[in-house]
Amino acid sequence: MTLEICYFVESDPYCRTNTSVLQSVEESNHVEIECSVRYKGVWTPHFVCVPHIPGNFSVSQTVSDLMVYRRIIPASSIQDFTVLNCSMAFTLATNYLPACQSGSLTPDKPHYKYVWNSTTIHVINATGTLATYAIYLFI
């Protein structure tokens, strides 16, 4: 009896934003989230990033084993001091042929959990100022 590998994550998923070093973005601009992962198998990585905020996303495979997810969100849709998050799960490839497990038409879904949180993002309004906030220092 031979079992085939039904999925294999070759790299840790990696996500980032296009915000500045100060983690700020102008209100008239956008925030771009980019996530990528290398994988093999019949289960395809599936990223979900801040689905409750309006914006556009695209998914591409630059090579057969690299998944790249991009989400563009208008900065005006983000509140100041927001932390964006993404998660990754797996979906069965559309061209799957039942060969991964004998006696099963669908292989078990991989138990893999990945959650990413951005650092706090400051949204700068049109005048170029950050929202007012206080910093407390306890000694």
Q: For the chain, which residues make up each domain, given as ranges?
A: 9-95+109-124
pLDDT value, residue 3: 46
Tokens 């991964």 identify what position?
100
> Is there a contact between 107 and 99 (Cβ–Cβ < 8 Å)?
no
pLDDT at site 46: 86
Against a cut of 0.75, is the pTM above it? no
pLDDT, residue 77, reads 93
User: β-pairing, 14-17 with 30-41?
Assistant: antiparallel
For the stretch 54-98, pLDDT in tens is: 888 888 876 778 889 999 999 999 999 999 999 998 877 666 665
Q: Span 97-120, mean pLDDT?
A: 70
- What are the pLDDT digits (tens) for 14-48? 999 998 777 889 999 999 999 999 887 777 788 99
Q: What is the pLDDT of residue 96?
A: 60
Instruction: Please report which confidence band the pLDDT of residue 113 belongs to, taking 50, 70 and 90 as the band edges.
Output: confident
What's the confidence (pLDDT) of residue 107? 61
**Torsion sign, CA atoms 95, 98, 104, 105:** positive
CATH class of 9-95+109-124: mainly beta
Cα–Cα distance for residue pair 121/20, rounded to 1 Å:
9
